Amino acid sequence: MKSAFAFRHVAFEDLGSIAPVLEEHGFRLRYLEAGLDELDTTETRAADLLVVLGGPIGAYEEASYPFLLNELRVLEARFERDLPTLGLCLGAQLMARALGARVFAGGRKEIGWSGLQLSPAGAKGPLRALEGVEVLHWHGDTFDLPRGAELLASTDVYAHQAFSWKEQGLALQFHPEVTVSGIERWLIGHAAELASSQIAVKPLRAATAVRAPALAVPARRLMSEWLARVG
């Protein structure tokens, strides 16, 4: 089977609904835990696929979380070799930074469900599967679009929600992977952030119960098409 590694920053933010798609495309997935496992290895630099998952820290906080530098080095090495790389939320921000763009705190939190505004490039590629579909946003940081990257999607809150890097890199600021069962761990793990942002748990849980099942099929279609493209 082809090798796939996922850098995981908190246990409850995993690949969720899109994990089975990797198996369908012949990947054997292995999670590496940031802060515990060695991330910058020959295997991760050369893997058939690398996924960098989300987390509650900033892509610019290496003074507090030194392992971020290891992640950046792996990403830079993979971009030099044009190897398939996927970033979700924090992972997308780390991809942007590894490509030389600025990552910074935004003006407001974007937490909850809403649709995407696809760019012409986004509407022609795998992201067209999400046209008219609401996705989960959960971030307060944002990033400049890296030079040479192609913008794929925006929202009214943040202009840079997704970008591609050549054919091999896909960065998604939002969360296509979330599931109804998995969201409960998010609500617990991010309880302090929800409280400080004055976001009520019950409405967010109720919205996820309706919208996550509607997202699952198009999210799988998105990932399946992208994986087929990157080979």
List of residues 6+ apart from 192 with CB closer than 8 A: none
| 35: confidence class by pLDDT, cuts 50, 70, 90 | very high
The fraction of the chain above a pLDDT of 90, given in percent, is 99
Q: What range defines the domain where residue 105 resides?
A: 2-230
DSSP bridge pairs for 112:
137
CATH, residue 101 = 3.40.50.880
* Residue (of 207, 195, 8, 2) closest to 112 by Cα position: 207
**What does 9-20 look like in DSSP terms, one character per residue?**
SSTT-S-GGGHH
**What does 164-227 look like in DSSP terms, one character per residue?**
EETTTEEEESSBS---HHHHHHHHHHTHHHHHHTT--HHHHHHHHHHHHHHHHHHHHHHHHHHH
Its sign, for the CA torsion 199, 201, 205, 206, is negative
User: In the predicted model, what is the mean pLDDT of residues 36-43?
Assistant: 98
User: Which residue bears the tokens 């992201």?
Assistant: 127
For 60-94, how does the pLDDT look when each residue is reduced to its tens digit (9 = 90+)?
A: 999 999 999 999 999 999 999 999 999 999 999 99
- Using the predicted structure, report yes or no on whether residue 167 has a pLDDT greater than 90: no
CA distances to 79, 145, 204 from 82, rounded to whole Å, are 5, 18, 38
| 231: confidence class by pLDDT, cuts 50, 70, 90 | confident
Q: What is the pTM assigned to this prediction? A: 0.97
| 188: confidence class by pLDDT, cuts 50, 70, 90 | very high
Question: How many domains does the structure of the chain reveal?
Answer: 1
- Using the predicted structure, report yes or no on whether residue 147 has a pLDDT greater than 90: yes
| 219: confidence class by pLDDT, cuts 50, 70, 90 | very high
